[in-house]
């Protein structure tokens, strides 16, 4: 199976208000099509780790490879282009633009990438909404959607550029039980049917247990992998 992400001896130190090592010599790899959940108590370093893997934080020691490419040491402009093309993000808070429709929100990353014309992007965005069961809400303002509907739009937006990785930070943290299951089922299908790779941080034990693999962290280190 093709390796899609590898990290080698990752260390991260926060310097304010005093020096504190939040990640300690972390190494592991993830293959294409895996659904991985990173777990651990608050403060164990799991969200910091996801932030580094997503290339949003470049202040660390060690190496990160994505799709056989060493991204450590790349410039901010290079990383911005890489993120838009290769990484889709799903957060606890969906961060949709309230004055935009569901369709317009999904289109945004593809418009930034500039790989397709606007009609192609619109068609692709509609297909992603359809994949999420949200096509009938395409022209509805995102501010008029329920929390569960907004999160499905956010997942569609994360998928628009066909990224190598989906990174999700507490993606069900604000959802009720039914919508949590809905989002989990979507993620499961994305990995099992589409071969998508998902790395999620979650406090939800059921979510983690039912994903394909758990990476459990304790005090900045990997306890089980």
Domain boundaries, the chain: 3-224
- What is the per-residue pLDDT for 60? 94
| Average pLDDT of span 143-153 | 89
Place of tokens 């010599």: 25
What would the pLDDT profile of 56-85 be if each residue is shown by its tens digit?
A: 889 999 999 998 889 999 999 999 888 888
Whether pLDDT at 224 is above 80: no
| Average pLDDT of span 17-40 | 92
What would the pLDDT profile of 96-108 be if each residue is shown by its tens digit?
A: 898 999 999 999 9
User: Domain 3-224 - what CATH class?
Assistant: alpha beta
- What is the per-residue pLDDT for 49? 93
DSSP 40-101: --TTSSHHHHHHHHTTS----EEEEEETTEE-TT--HHHHHHHHHHHEEEEESS----TTSB
- What is the per-residue pLDDT for 172? 80
- What is the per-residue pLDDT for 36? 94
Task: Give yes or no for a contact between 221 and 44, defined as CB atoms under 8 angstroms apart.
Answer: no
Task: Give yes or no for a contact between 33 and 1, defined as CB atoms under 8 angstroms apart.
Answer: yes
Torsion angle of C-alpha atoms 46, 49, 51, 57, degrees rounded to 10: 140
Q: Which residue has the higher pLDDT, 136 or 194?
A: 136
CA 196 to chain CA mean position, Å: 11
Q: What is the pTM of this model?
A: 0.87
Cα gap 134→149, rounded to integer Å: 7
């Amino acid at each position: 199976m093709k390796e899609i992400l590898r990290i080698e001896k990752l260390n991260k130190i926060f310097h304010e208000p005093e020096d504190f090592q939040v990640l300690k010599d972390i190494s592991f790899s993830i293959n294409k099509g895996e659904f991985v959940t990173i777990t651990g108590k608050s403060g164990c370093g799991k969200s910091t780790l996801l932030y580094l893997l997503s290339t949003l934080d470049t202040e660390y020691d060690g190496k990160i490879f994505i799709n056989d490419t060493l991204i450590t040491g790349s410039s901010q402009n290079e990383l911005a282009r890489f993120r838009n093309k290769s990484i889709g993000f799903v957060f606890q808070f969906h961060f949709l633009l309230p004055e935009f429709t569901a369709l317009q929100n999904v289109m945004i990353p593809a418009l930034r990438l500039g790989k397709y014309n606007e009609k192609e992007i619109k068609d692709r965005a509609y297909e992603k909404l359809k994949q999420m069961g949200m096509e009938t809400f395409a022209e509805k303002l995102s501010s008029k959607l329920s929390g569960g509907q907004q999160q499905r739009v956010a997942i569609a937006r994360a998928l628009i550029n066909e990224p190598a990785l989906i990174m999700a930070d507490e993606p069900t943290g604000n959802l009720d039980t039914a919508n949590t299951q809905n989002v989990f089922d979507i993620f499961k299908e994305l990995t099992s049917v589409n071969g998508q790779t998902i790395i999620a941080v979650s406090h939800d034990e059921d979510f983690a247990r039912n994903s394909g693999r758990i990476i459990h962290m304790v005090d900045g280190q990997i306890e089980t992998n």
